[in-house]
Structure 1
Amino acid sequence: MRYLATAVALAALPLTLSPAVAQVTPTIVADGAILDVTAQGETTRVPDVATIRAGVVTQGATAAAALAENAKRMAGVLEALKRAGVAPRDNRTASVSLSPQYRYTDGQPPVVTGYQASNSVAIRFRDIAKAGAILDALVTEGANQIDGPTLSIDQPEAALDEARADAVKRARTRAELYARAAGLSVSRILSISEAGQNDGSTPQPIMFNNRAMAAGMDASTRVVPGETEVTVSVNVRFLLK
């Protein structure tokens, strides 16, 4: 586990600092000095949930024709997901849209040339090893918009708690270092507040563009989960004596 940078704000310590280096405005408390430390802790997990967003975009001369073709192809996509072992409860409609398509000519009003229909679903599954087969099935059945998979941790609380404990440990280690440098010691923690967290969700999903899908994806498409970092930032206030 690598060490992360820790930001420290120190008040009321008997230090003499050059104005070119730092300027400290003392905060006097009744029984000591206050030290504020911001630290980040981390741990790692292997993602156990994948989410893919897949859809069908169709064109038609009329709105009805575009929607009918879209519905037909989307039914094939949903059937392919069923054959791939994805339970119906793990499919959720993400978006449905219908919009006119225009031809623009200089000096003339736009002319409607047809309609575009779009329908997409969010697919969630726990067996990440199936991601490649599901992607292949989607493309085979005519899905021409695919985003993902996004990999995440289904129940991240235990990992977040590990990261919280690590963050407080790092904060205390840094507080003790500064206290020793100032000729003081850490008396106790006055407060702890959480400043932010990352529950291990993939920051950017893997993307497959339309050109790759049109050419057809290899039947052995693989998705490797690897490890993801779970991080928590905390602000800890210490009392020094």
Structure 2
Amino acid sequence: MKTFVRAGALALMLAAAAAPAAFAQTARTTADSMFQTTTLNLSAYGETRVAPDKATINLGVVTEAPTAAAALAANSEQMTTVIAALRKAGIPDKDIQTSGLNLNAQYDYVQNEPPKLRGYQASNQVTITVNDLARLGVAVDATVKAGVNQVNGISFGLKDPTAAENAARQDAVKALAAKADLYARATGHRVSRLVNLSEGGSYVPSPPPAPMMAYARMEKDSGGAPISAGELNVRVDITGLYELSR
């Protein structure tokens, strides 16, 4: 029994001693293979331009009155009229969302005197999404005529950016392959294979919010304020790892 125990203990000691050596050998083999292989780690992007098919507008009603209750009541009445005008212009309720409601005291400040309460200001902001751009100018005109006195800007987007993103992806892959081929030839190599490809994210940047034109011009019965949607630039960034050979 003693001989058996000693033999078992010796086997365990030998196995434990062999494990670090095996690990070191594997690490050296991996490192050697890395140095024996020439790789390229490159990035590229693809872009496509497309006309937007939806718009988002942020607008609001600001009212002032001597008391908080009066300011809020006046604001509520005016905003109710605005929302009714939006519905009449063809904007459904699901595309009208309250994005801000504020009530603040207003003070007059005179040097060397304590602030004097002037009254209260109520503000109600709504964000509307217009999915039919043909209705955009009419909707803006309708809201201003209904009492909107604050328009914070307009942005354009895509209901479904998939097709535009896929077109940008194809351009990105072509650009990446061309870049890899250029580097390979410049260094006396050729591209053996694509080892890895990753996408850094795709996005559809909207044009910066544009200030709306003067209300006086909007008041004209011209079938809607002239608003140009322009185009959107859809971009996709990718990164690829290529293996080269002689």
Structures share fold, TM-score greater than 0.5: yes
Say which SS state the counterpart of residue 113 (structure 1) adopts. strand
Counterpart among 231, 235, 238 of residue 234 in structure 1:
238
Q: Which consecutive unaligned segments of at least 5 residues does structure 2 have?
A: 1-31
For 1:219 and 1:205, the matched residues in 2 are separated by 25
- 1:108 deviates by 2.6
The structure that has the greater radius of gyration is: 2
Equivalences for 1:32-181 in 2 at 5 Å?
32-181=37-186
User: Are the aligned partners of 2:156 and 2:207 in contact in 1 as well (CA < 8 Å)?
Assistant: no
Corresponding residue for 2:221? Answer: 219
For 2:51 and 2:217, the matched residues in 1 are separated by 32
Give the aligned residue type for 2:113.
Answer: Q
- 1:99 deviates by 0.6
Q: Which consecutive unaligned segments of at least 5 residues does structure 1 have?
A: 1-26
- 1:216 deviates by 4.5
For 1:46 and 1:227, the matched residues in 2 are separated by 4
Pair 215,100 (structure 1): closer, same or farther in 2 beyond 3 Å: farther
Corresponding residue for 1:13? Answer: none
User: Are the aligned partners of 1:55 and 1:118 in contact in 2 as well (CA < 8 Å)?
Assistant: yes
User: Are the aligned partners of 1:128 and 1:223 in contact in 2 as well (CA < 8 Å)?
Assistant: no
User: Are the aligned partners of 1:133 and 1:219 in contact in 2 as well (CA < 8 Å)?
Assistant: no
Say which SS state the counterpart of residue 207 (structure 1) adopts. coil
Counterpart among 189, 195, 205 of residue 209 in structure 2:
205
Give the aligned residue type for 1:153.
Answer: L
- 1:30 deviates by 4.7
User: Are the aligned partners of 1:33 and 1:240 in contact in 2 as well (CA < 8 Å)?
Assistant: yes
Corresponding residue for 1:16? Answer: none
> TM-score of the superposition, structure 2-length normalised?
0.80
User: Are the aligned partners of 1:47 and 1:152 in contact in 2 as well (CA < 8 Å)?
Assistant: yes
Q: Which has the higher helix share?
A: 2
- 1:214 deviates by 5.7
Q: How many residue pairs are counted as aligned between the two chains? A: 212
Give the aligned residue type for 1:49.
Answer: K
- CA deviation vs aligned residue, 1:55-104 (integer Å, no higher than 9, x gap): 10001111001101100110110010011011111111111001111111
- 1:150 deviates by 1.2
User: Are the aligned partners of 2:58 and 2:154 in contact in 1 as well (CA < 8 Å)?
Assistant: yes
